[in-house]
Amino acid sequence: MAPHKLCMIPGPIEFHEDVLAAMSTPATSHVDPNFVPIFGESIEMVRKVVLSENAQPFIVSGSCTLGWDMMVNLLEQGDEVLALNTGYFGDHFSECLEIYGANITTLKADVGSRPTNDALKEALSSGKKYKMVTVTHVDTSTGVLSDIKAIAETVKSISPETLVVVDGVCSVGSEEIRFDDWKLDIVISGSQKGLGVPPGLSVVVASQQALKVFKTRSSPIVSYYSNWNKWLPIMEAYESRKPAYFATPAVQLIYALHASLKAITSQPMEVRFNEHRKVSSEFRQTIRGLGLKTVAQCEECSANGMTAVWLPEGIEIPQLVPSLASKGVQIAGGILDGLAGKYFRIGHMGISVTEPKRGHIDKVVEALTSSLTELGYKA
């Protein structure tokens, strides 16, 4: 691999050499008999990553935001949506759904925490019939992990028809997700975070209940490219090893996705979840050892694939980020409105976690520690 700064932002993450090599295929037709099973197997492996037997994956060219847009397939004008908000990405997910006619009720937690289950129960019992409850599994702006198992349990016990829609962009591949057992309806993701593939693929998984809502809706879907009437036959065709065309798939990215999913699914998902849990817990301990505080306010609500950390007094992002960059490590500043300059974010996903011999985590900790010291910080 070409020399480069170690990319320790919360996505895109570091790519495995095999994933990059898989992309460098010669020009290949999207209906080539060699490519068709690659696409078909990728669809099947996405299902395995979210531990589902019969959910429907959609793999479509686009960034993860396209997954938000795909909710146009489920929403009709005036539908009520309850949005559980833990940061910037929750705000923008809601902004997207409003474009498609949703009336949003937001349960917003204080920065670093998450809405309580009691607040969710109260909202669901208020008399409003919610079409969907949305939740950002890990809000990449805060590193807060939502308890989607408990949320889905509450939603399905109070209002079984309400769809549980999870933005899993910063969680799929690094956090435990049991799509079927937890009765989730939608998980939205993409290539460049826990799946360890360059940016450019939107990956969305839909339950049979969600597909029923899509198929029985009464108004037309006001979108062309994100319309599941176009994409569902394509996914079904490739999964049954037949070529089909609606819009040209990103052939080389799908080769890369296939290589990464093969590695991810070569062992039980529990192993991967536990590796991420262990590394993130140790990372938070290191942060506390440096006398710093994470944005996430509790251990259970801390993401396993990234950490957001408050800056110490007197040190600013325009000092810290370039200082780490000069040591060959790329980290990210904050993005929360009004607080962006007050904290930094570090990703710990994929091969940086599953292949400790690469030394990525050690390198980011070393660079952070010496940059802080150079900038005058005393723990």
Ligand X SMILES: Cc1ncc(COP(=O)(O)O)c(C=O)c1O
Q: Which residues does the annotation place in the binding site for substrate?
A: 345
Least CB distance from residue 128 to ligand X, whole Å? 25
Least CB distance from residue 371 to ligand X, whole Å? 24
How far is the CA of 272 from the CAs of 166, 207, 331, 351, 356, in angstroms?
20, 23, 23, 10, 13
Q: Which residues bind ligand X (CB under 6 A)?
A: 11, 63-65, 89, 136, 139-140, 167, 169-170, 190
Pick between residue 36 and residue 152 the one whose CB is nearest to ligand X: 152
Pick between residue 170 and residue 232 the one whose CB is nearest to ligand X: 170
Pick between residue 107 and residue 124 the one whose CB is nearest to ligand X: 107
Pick between residue 57 and residue 190 the one whose CB is nearest to ligand X: 190
Q: Which residues are annotated as a binding site?
A: 345
Pick between residue 36 and residue 114 the one whose CB is nearest to ligand X: 114
Least CB distance from residue 134 to ligand X, whole Å? 11
Is the peptide bond preceding residue 12 cis, with omega within 30 degrees of 0?
Answer: yes
Pick between residue 13 and residue 292 the one whose CB is nearest to ligand X: 13
Least CB distance from residue 107 to ligand X, whole Å? 17
The helix/strand/coil state of 73 is: helix
Least CB distance from residue 88 to ligand X, whole Å? 8
How far is the CA of 183 from the CAs of 84, 134, 156, 179, 293, in angstroms?
17, 14, 8, 6, 34
Least CB distance from residue 147 to ligand X, whole Å? 16
Least CB distance from residue 199 to ligand X, whole Å? 6
The span from the CA of 46 to the CA of 40, in Å, is 10
Pick between residue 40 and residue 249 the one whose CB is nearest to ligand X: 249
β 343-347/306-310 pair status: antiparallel
